[in-house]
Structure 1
Amino acid sequence: MEFFYFLLFGALSAVVAALELSKNNKDRIHTSSVFNDFKNNYLLIYSLMMAGDWLQGPYVYYLYSQYGFSKGDIGQLFIAGFGSSMLFGTVVGSLADKQGRKRACITYCITYILSCFTKHFPDYKVLLLGRILGGIATSLLFSAFESWLVAEHNKRGFEQQWLSLTFSKAIFLGNGLIAIVAGLLGNLLVDTLGFGPVAPFDAAACFLAIGMAIILASWSENYGDSSENKNLLTQFRGAAVAIASDEKIALLGAIQSLFEGSMYTFVFLWTPALSPNDEEIPHGFIFATFMLASMLGSSFASRLMAASSPKVESYMQIVFVVSAASLLLPIVTTLFIAPSNVKGGSMSLSGYTQLIGFCIFEACVGIFWPSIMKMRSQYIPEEARSTIMNFFRIPLNIFVCVVLYNVDAFPITIMFGMCSIFLSVAAVLQRRLMVIADGPKSKPEEWTTHERDTEAEPLND
């Protein structure tokens, strides 16, 4: 492996270590022992859930190709996953507000374990079922756990600022350290021990089962709006009213969809961007480097959120601008660096430049996750938290499905340019959110009152 990869990985490791070790009392949030026990329990379960997710990611495409499916068939399987998350996941995720967030988290574990089990069968229909189950699980992963945490945190009377500490630690561990360890474990199971490409899915199922057992033993149930007279359609209508009546919620949803849509597109594009001529690149090591960059971002975010200034609404504008600039590098390098026409070999100068830019983007991702979690905890009403969060994922999943379907129709530079534009728009919307957030405060219950008044109008006629 070339020296450059080790140098970049080592430099990022040194910066992460320096950030963590240099934290003083001013950078730390002082908490109680009771909260620390609560936080550590959640971090353990969240890490197990993310381990179950990260173990699968690098090997899904590879497993399908080993079963002999074409690129088109594999693309359809991926689209089925995102489409399932948009359609079924929205409904199942919304049930968490009424039926309970703990139950939804257990449902995530069971659904994802079943999805892992389908990977043992080289049958297209069985694998399609697995992708549908995986799409439902993904919606629950990114809504039910956060909804449970916020509700339980508030129910136990912990300080609001402590919530940002849990968010930043969850991303540091779940989207950073656990991702790196999961990648190395998957490599050990598949390549070193020779258990085959289905082994990571079996390992993921084991982690999910352990996490589910801990949830059953240690978590209490909490709800959004558990009113008996409120069916699923009424929940959807209430969530729509919340988004339409509160510009902050609508802006937050648009910002999230724009950033995550660009992020998922980046996941599909970074490999062909770094090896346009089939250059030999260490995919696993580069993935670990990206996750290390994400850890750097989450570590930096924990400092930002521990301070009273700047506010999250303010610094996220800069994050979106920097992320937009970093994804412009494939276009810039095409214009100013002569492309290599040599097939195979090592990464080109253009590739090295883009790799640094992609690490900057991943650092922005590391800042984005805990920051968007904090803003969601502030602006999304508790009564329909899971429902609204899954509403946010509808445009995201539509966008990703469209990109997957047309990934070969446009040059890669056009795709990166589109992502950069979306991130720039997110920066503008973030600016608007900051202006509104600094304005007059509205009551959190305002949307529910409006909904009840709307429902009561026919009775006054």
Structure 2
Amino acid sequence: MELFYYLVFGGFGAIVLALELSKTSKDRINTSSPFNAFKNNYLLIYSLMMAGDWLQGPYVYYLYSVYGFTKGEIGQLFIAGFGSSMLFGTIVGSLADKQGRKRACITYCITYILSCITKHSPQYKILMVGRVLGGIATSLLFSAFESWLVAEHNKRGFEQQWLSVTFSKAIFLGNGLVAILAGLFGNLLVGSLDLGPVAPFDAAAFFLTIGMVIIISSWSENYGDPSESKDLLTQFRGAAVAIASDGKIALLGAIQSLFEGSMYTFVFLWTPALSPNGEDIPHGFIFATFMLASMLGSSTASRLMARSSLKVESYMQTVFAISSVALLIPVLTSYLLPSTGVKGGSITFSGSIQLIGFCVFEACVGIFWPSIMKMRSQYIPEESRSTIMNFFRIPLNIFVCVVLYNVDAFPIMFMFGMCSFFLLVACILQKRLMVLVENQKPRQQEWRQNQEEEEEAFNPSEDRGNV
């Protein structure tokens, strides 16, 4: 393998290590022992849940190809997963608000375990059922756990700022360290131990089972809407009204859909970008490098959110702008340096630039996750949190399905340009969100002042009564 790949991996690893070791009191938020115990319990479970997800990711396409399915059939299976997340995810998310977030998290484990079991069958229909179950599980993974965390955090009376500690650590571990370890473990099972392409899915089911047992034994239940009489249609209507009536929620949903849509599209684009003619590249090692870059981003996010003077709405504008430029790099290099990717077994200069740009984008992803979680905890109403969060995923899943269906219809550089444009739009919308938040503060302060004056007028203090 080329020295360049080792240098990039080692460079990002050294930066992450230096950032973590150089943290001072200004970069940390002082918390309490009860909170740390609560946080560590959540991080353990979240890491197990993400291990169950990351173990499967690199081997889904490979497993289908081993079973002899064509590229078109594999594409249909992938579309079924995203379509299932879109169609059933919102319903399941609403049930989480009504029936309980803990139950929803347990449902995630059961659903994903069943999806893993279907991978033992080479029959197309059974694999399709597995993809539908996987789509439902994905919706729960990215809504129910966060909803449970925010509600339980508030119920226990912890400070609001401490949420950012849990968010940043969860992304650092779950989307960084666990992803790297899962990739290496999966490679050990399939490569070194030669247990076959189904082995990572069995390992994922094992980790999910452990996590489910811990959830059952250590988590308490919490709910969204306190009214048990509301049916799903009423919940959907309430969530839609909340999105339509609050510009901040609507903007947040648009920003999330634009960024995540670009991110999922990038997942399909980076391999052909670095190997345009099907050259052999170290996919697993590059993936591990991306995860290191993501860890760098989450470590940076924890520093940014520890500073009370720096608002998430402010620095995320810069993050979106940088991510837009990062995904524009392949387009620029294709015109300025036509020889891209790998050539003659060696990575080209333009391919090296693209790889660095992709790592920068992954660092932005690492900043994005805890930051968007922080904003969601501030703006999304508690009573319909899971429902609204899954509403946000509807345009995302539509976008990814359209991209997958037309992946061969457009040149790859057009797709990168489109993602770059969407990220630029996200930057503009983030600026608009910042303006709304800043404009709302004076009105809130004025309202509080008027309330205090009215209370003083109707309830004069003892000192004033003695004057």
Range class of TM-score, shorter chain: over 0.9
For the residues of structure 2 that align with 1:262 and 1:228, how far apart are their CA atoms?
A: 38
2:41 paired with 1:41: yes
| Displaced runs of 4 or more, over 4 A | 340-344, 441-444
Structure 1 residues 50 and 263, CA gap change in structure 2 (3 angstroms)? same
Deviations, residues 154-182 of structure 1 (Å, cap 9, x unaligned): 00000001000000000000000000000
Match of 2:439, SS state, is: coil
Instruction: From the superposition, tell whether residues 398 and 443 of structure 1 become closer, same or farther in structure 2 (CA, over 3 Å).
Output: farther
Once residues 48 and 344 of structure 1 are traced to their aligned partners in structure 2, the CA distance between those partners, rounded to angstroms, is 41
Aligned equivalent of 2:157 = 157
State how far apart, in whole Å, the 2-side matches of 1:212 and 1:304 are: 33
Q: Can you list the C-alpha shifts for 1:313-353, whole angstroms capped at 9, x where unaligned?
A: 00000000000000001111111113269975222222111
2-structure distance, mates of 1:61, 1:27: 41
1:407-418 equivalence runs, <5 A: 407-418=407-418
The 2-side partners of 1:340 and 1:111 are apart by 42
Measure the CA separation in 1 of the matches of 2:431 and 2:340: 40
What's the counterpart of residue 372 of structure 2? 372
Q: Which ranges of structure 1 fall in alignment gaps of 5 or more residues?
A: 445-461
Matched-pair contact (CA < 8 Å) for 1:280–1:344: no
Distance 2:278 2:351 in 1: 12
> After superposition, what is the alpha-carbon deviation per residue over 1:335-382, rounded to whole angstroms, capped at 9, x for unaligned?
111326997522222211100000000000000000000000000000
Residue 205 of structure 2 aligns to which amino acid in structure 1? A
Q: AA paired with 1:189? A: L
Partner residue, 2:57:
57
Q: Distance in 1 between matches of 2:280 and 2:348?
A: 10
Give the Cα separation in 2 of the matches to 1:270 and 1:342.
13
The aligned counterpart of 1:457 is none
Matched, 1:400 2:379: no
TM-score, length basis structure 2: 0.94
Q: Which residue of 2 aligns with 1:252?
A: 252
CA contact (8 A) 2:274 2:340 kept: no
Q: Deviations over 1:66-108 (max 9, x none)?
A: 0000000000000000000000111111110000000000000
In the alignment, which residue of structure 2 is the partner of 1:266? 266
SS at match of 2:25: coil
Question: 1:425 corresponds to which residue?
Answer: 425
Helix, strand or coil: the match of 2:347? coil
Partners of 2:32 and 2:155 in 1: CA distance? 16
CA distance in structure 2 between the aligned counterparts of 1:84 and 1:226, rounded to whole angstroms: 28
Task: Say whether the 8 Å CA contact 2:47–2:174 is kept in structure 1.
Answer: yes
Contact 2:342/2:351 (<8 A) preserved: no
Question: Which whole-Å CA distance do the structure 2 matches of 1:125 and 1:161 have between them?
Answer: 47
Match of 1:310 in 2: 310
Q: 1:169 corresponds to which residue?
A: 169
**Residue 452 (structure 2) aligns with:** none
Cα drift, residue 226 of structure 1: 3.4
Q: Which runs of 5+ in 2 are unaligned?
A: 445-467
- For 1:26 and 1:406, the matched residues in 2 are separated by 48
Aligned identity (percent) is 81
How do 1:194-233 residues align onto structure 2 when only pairs under 5 Å count? Answer: 194-233=194-233
**Per-residue CA shift, 1:382-413, capped at 9, x if unaligned?**
00000000000000000000000000000000
Cross-structure match for 1:295: 295
Q: What is the Cα deviation at residue 277 of structure 1?
A: 1.9
Q: Is the 8 A contact 1:97 1:225 kept in 2?
A: yes
| Cα pair distance change 1:342/1:128, threshold 3 Å | closer
Q: Does the residue aligned with 1:324 lie in a helix, a strand or coil?
A: helix
Q: Which amino acid aligns with 2:386?
A: S
Alpha-carbon displacement from aligned partner over 1:172-202 (angstroms, at most 9, x marks no partner): 0000000000000000000000000000000
Cα distance change, pair 239–351 in 1 and its aligned pair in 2 (3 A): same
Q: Distance in 2 between matches of 1:265 and 1:310?
A: 31
Secondary structure class of the residue paired with 2:301: helix
CA pair 54-342 structure 1, distance change in 2 beyond 3 A: closer
- In the alignment, residue 284 of structure 2 is paired with which amino acid? G
**CA-atom RMSD in angstroms:** 1.4
With normalisation by structure 1, the TM-score equals 0.95
Q: Determine if contact 2:340/2:351 at 8 Å carries over to the other structure.
A: no
Compared CA separation, residues 144 and 443, structure 1 to 2 (3 A): farther
Give the structure 2 partner of residue 123 of structure 1: 123
Is 2:355 the counterpart of 1:355? Answer: yes
Contact 1:278 1:343 in 2 (8 A): no
Residue equivalent to 2:181? 181
> Counterpart in 1 of 2:107?
107
d(CA) in 2 for partners of 1:224, 1:251 = 22
- Secondary structure of the 1:68 match is coil
Instruction: Indicate conservation of the 8 Å contact 2:262/2:419, yes or no.
Output: yes
Q: Secondary structure at the match of 1:439?
A: helix
Alignment-derived partner of residue 83 in structure 2: 83
Q: Do the aligned partners of residues 442 and 98 (structure 1) sit closer, same or farther apart at CA in structure 2, a change above 3 Å counting?
A: farther
Q: What secondary structure does 1:328 align onto?
A: helix
| Letter in structure 2 aligned against 1:194 | D
SS of residue matched to 2:346: coil
Is the CA contact (8 Å cut-off) linking 1:281 and 1:346 kept in structure 2? no
C-alpha separation in 2, matches of 1:62 and 1:442: 56
Cα displacement (A) at 1:442: 11
SS of corresponding position for 1:230: coil
In structure 1, C-alpha distance between the alignment counterparts of 2:347 and 2:319, rounded to whole Å: 28
What CA distance in whole angstroms lies between the structure 2 residues aligned with 1:347 and 1:280? Answer: 10
Return the offset for 1:279: 2.1
Contact kept? 1:275, 1:347, Cα under 8 Å: no
* CA distance in 2: counterparts of 1:87 and 1:331, whole angstroms: 34
- Does structure 1 conserve the Cα–Cα contact (< 8 Å) formed by 2:327 and 2:357? yes
Larger Rg: 2
